[in-house]
Amino acid sequence: MKALMLHAIGDLRLEQVPMPQPRESEALIRVAAAGICGSDLPRIYEHGTYRFPLIPGHELAGTIAEINGSSDLHPGQAVAIKPLIACGECAYCRSGNLGQCVDYDYLGSRRDGGFAEYVCAPLDNLVPVPEGVPLIEATLCEPAAVALHALHQGDIRPGDVVAILGTGPIGMLLAQWSWYCGASQVILADIDQAKLELAESLTLGITVNSRTSDPIAAVRAASHGQRGADLVIEAAGAAITVAQAIEMARPLGTVVLMGNPSGDVALSQALVSQILRKQLTLRGTWNSNFGALPVDEWQLVLDAAARRRICLGPMISHAVPLEQGPETLEMMHQRREFYTRVVLTNP
């Protein structure tokens, strides 16, 4: 089969490789589409991955080609693939917190992923894609579940004013889920005007360019009695947006830290004082909930997409064949074009 093989940092090649063989309780899946995650760029170009050579790609959807074991699933079925393979035995797994597993495997970083024609994954990791959800859109299951998980971490409630710092695909998914969960207002901030215009065209909320306007003032103006946001999701990973998040949260509000920080984040005395005085709740969020309880976030994504309660398609700016993977990733790495979500396809 064809695959994009990462041999060393920055050395990604399109190659013919042997077909993977599904182990016991695994399936072989024909990859229809694989999303390129923000985390794939540093993995390929900066810090590398757990082993070389490795096929990256962990945001995957396809059809089952072969099943090794007993399952309710059947060959030909359309599925999205959860990339985290939990050990099932540690204390976190046994308590249902698979995302905190201490001995996990991961498609596309620890074992071969889906920038390829085929991939193997455990049967437990497959989520059937309902009719009406194109497989290319089902690749957004992972980021959409990650966004939903962040709002769950922030205990979002109907009526909340939600501020989102960072308006990439995750930010736009956060906005959609905020409305889904009953937000009374959503404010999206970014410094990239093209992203804000896209969010605006999708009527995802009030948009603020933080380069030219003050996002804190904009959030206060959009909130009841100028009090600030009930819930702020920091999805940019910069020191300045962490500071803005703390400042724009209302007293007794919640700030969820979601963006991977691009450097150290130091908090001034005044900001720490605000956390104390406003009795803010600061939460981290990581990945999504891979188990069935309290809510299967992946299933919720697909149900909501099938019922058109969230729209995944407009998040995708580029869909290119797998063969063009190396130059497409290079384009993203160099930021030569505006992109939101880029998907590699196997037509």
Q: Which two tokens stand for residue 209?
A: 């360019």
Q: Which residues are registered as beta bridge partners of 316?
A: 341
- For the bound state, the minimum distance from the C-beta of residue 251 to Zn ion, rounded and expressed in Å, comes to 34
Let me know: does 32 contact 345? Beta carbons within 8 Å. yes
Q: CA 202, CA 311: separation in Å to the nearest integer?
A: 10
Distance in Å, CB of 286 to Zn ion, minimum: 12
Could you tell me which stretch among 29-37, 232-240, 277-285, 312-320 binds Zn ion (CB under 5 A)? Answer: 29-37
Among the candidate windows 21-29, 30-38, 167-175, 317-325, which touches Zn ion by CB under 5 A?
30-38
Q: What Rg, from alpha-carbon coordinates, does the chain have?
A: 20
Cα-based torsion angle of the residue sequence 221, 225, 230, 234 in order, rounded to the nearest 10 degrees = 20
CB of 266 to Zn ion, least distance (A): 28
Backbone angles phi, psi at 274, to 5 degrees: -65, -40
Supply the minimum distance, in Å, between the C-beta of residue 103 and Zn ion. Answer: 5
Pairing label, strands 229-234, 249-257: parallel
Residue closer to Zn ion by CB (options 137, 160) is 137
Contact 189, 208 (CB under 8 A): yes
Among 27, 32, 37, 84, binds Zn ion (CB under 5 A): 37
CB 287, min distance to Zn ion, A: 9
d(CA 296, CA 282): 24
Using CB under 5 A as the binding rule, the residues of this chain from 101 to 120 that contact Zn ion are 101
* Contact window for Zn ion (CB under 5 A) among 37-45, 108-116, 172-180, 270-278: 37-45
- In whole angstroms, how close is the CB of 18 to Zn ion at the nearest point? 26
CA distance readout (Å), 191 to 26, 207, 227, 326: 44, 10, 24, 28
For 326, the enclosing helix (H) or strand (E) is: helix 325-334
Closer residue to Zn ion (CB): 195 or 341: 341
- Is residue 188 involved in binding Zn ion (CB under 5 A)? no
| Count of C-beta atoms within a 10 Å radius of residue 224 | 12
In this structure, what token pair is assigned to residue 94? 């046994």
Compare residues 50 and 217 and give the one whose CB is closer to Zn ion.
50
Q: CB under 5 A: which stretch of 32-40, 109-117, 195-203, 277-285 binds Zn ion?
A: 32-40
In the bound state with Zn ion, the residue whose beta carbon lies nearer, of 4 and 101, is 101
- Our CB check for Zn ion shows the closer of 33 and 249 to be 33
Give CA 175 to chain center in angstroms: 13
Of 5 and 140, nearer to Zn ion (C-beta) is: 140
- Angle at alpha carbon of residue 137, lines to 132 and 138, rounded to 5°: 80
In the bound state with Zn ion, the residue whose beta carbon lies nearer, of 141 and 219, is: 141
Q: Is 33 or 67 the residue whose CB approaches Zn ion more closely?
A: 33
Nearer to Zn ion, 101 or 236 (CB): 101
- Min dist CB 147 to Zn ion, Å, is 11
Query: What is the torsional sign of CA 152, 155, 156, 162?
Result: negative
Enumerate residues 63-102 that contact Zn ion by CB under 5 A: 86-87, 90, 93, 101
List, in order, residues 6 or more apart from 306 with CB less than 8 Å away: 130, 131, 132, 133
- Total residues contacting Zn ion by CB under 5 A comes to 6
Residues at the interface with Zn ion (CB under 5 A): 37, 86-87, 90, 93, 101
